[in-house]
Amino acid sequence: MPELPEVETIRRQLREKIVGKKLDGPPAGEAGKKIVDVRRRAKILIIDFSDGSSLIFHLKLTGQLIFNGESSKHTRHIFKFDDGSRLVFNDIRKFGWWKYVKSSKDIEKTFGPEALEVDLKTFKEVLKKSPNAKIKPLLMDQKVIAGIGNIYSDEILFTAKVQPVRSIKTLKPEEIGAIWSNIGRILKLAIKNRGTSERDYIDALGKKGDYLKYLKVYRKEGQKCPRCSGVIKRIKIGGRSAHFCPKCQR
């Protein structure tokens, strides 16, 4: 579940907590390596060491990274540091993963432009490459735009007043502009509120995110639309759920 806002929240918190520390007895015999940065690419978290190598994490559905967290039956690994602090990796459903790599470049280049960094011109060019694709799945395709998942694609399209099933070729210039502008606006607001804790997500300090109260349509099937008198509907697109208002989203 963690999307760009959740992973970015964890990144910012861990950057303050672990940069400058050295790993103490980590996997693959990498003890003593100094952490020089904590980065994010799409939905993955990257911990960089001074020799150019990295630890890469993908939290998938239920992964958690908690600084000085307590271990539990869901703990997959504990990364210890030279000052006695530690980073606990939990994962209830065990879909998440981590791995040590000598370079993160090969993994990073598999993603499209970052959702928070893509300009309008590039966004339009990306969309034009898939004229028959539906807009919601395209927004969630990490090779096209990196960082957006199920929650925020619903919220972005609702705010832009565009139905998730619309094909790219049917979108008007002003609709494309509205989608693009709301990508930045909504993701930034979600980061400010440390992400959405729908179920298992907690930040690196073990706290829930506060963005849940801002959600307009995600997981609100059957409820009244907050913008009009319509009723929020849930459909399946490519095996994933989409929530929208059929009255005010066109």
What does the pLDDT look like over 186-205, one tens digit per residue? 999 999 999 999 889 999 99
pLDDT tier at 238, thresholds 50, 70, 90: confident
Q: Is 137 a catalytic residue?
A: no
φ, ψ for residue 153, nearest 5 deg: -65, -40
Q: Residue 31 pLDDT > 80, yes or no?
A: no
Query: CATH topology of 4-108 equal to that of 120-244?
Result: no
Domain spanning 120-244, CATH architecture: Orthogonal Bundle (1.10)
The reply to whether 240 belongs to the active site is yes
Is 227 one of the annotated active-site residues of the chain? no
| Residue 91: predicted pLDDT | 96
Average pLDDT taken over every residue of the chain: 95
The residue among 76, 71, 14, 77 whose CA lies nearest residue 46 is: 14
| 173 is annotated as an active-site residue | no
In this prediction, residue 30 carries a pLDDT of 67
**Domain extent listing, the chain:** 4-108, 120-244
Percent of the chain predicted with pLDDT > 70: 97
- Of residues 2, 5, 26, 137, which has the active-site annotation? 2
Task: Choose between 118 and 32: higher pLDDT.
Answer: 118
Entry pTM: 0.95
User: What is the per-residue pLDDT across 107-122, written as a single tens digit (0 to 9) for each?
Assistant: 999 999 999 999 999 9
26, pLDDT greater than 70 = no
Does residue 75 carry a pLDDT above 60? yes
List of residues 6+ apart from 28 with CB closer than 8 A: 100
- 21, 81 in Cβ contact below 8 A? yes
> What pLDDT is attached to residue 28?
53
**Active site residue: 39, 76, 161, 240, which one?**
240
Question: What class is the 4-108 domain?
Answer: alpha beta
- Mean pLDDT to the nearest integer, 168-183: 98
Token pair of 155, please? 């919220």
User: Which residues have a Cβ under 8 Å from the Cβ of 174 and sit 6 or more positions away?
Assistant: none
Distance of CA 116 to the CA centre of its chain: 11
User: What does the block give as tokens for 193?
Assistant: 């509120």
pLDDT exceeds 70 at position 29: no
Burial profile 200-232: b = 16 or more Cβ within 10 angstroms, e = fewer: bbbbbeeeebebbeebbbbbbeeeebeeeeeeb
- As a whole number, mean pLDDT of residues 116-136 equals 97
pLDDT 10s digits, 78-110: 999 999 999 999 999 999 999 999 999 999 999
Options 17, 21, 43, 233, the catalytic residue: 43
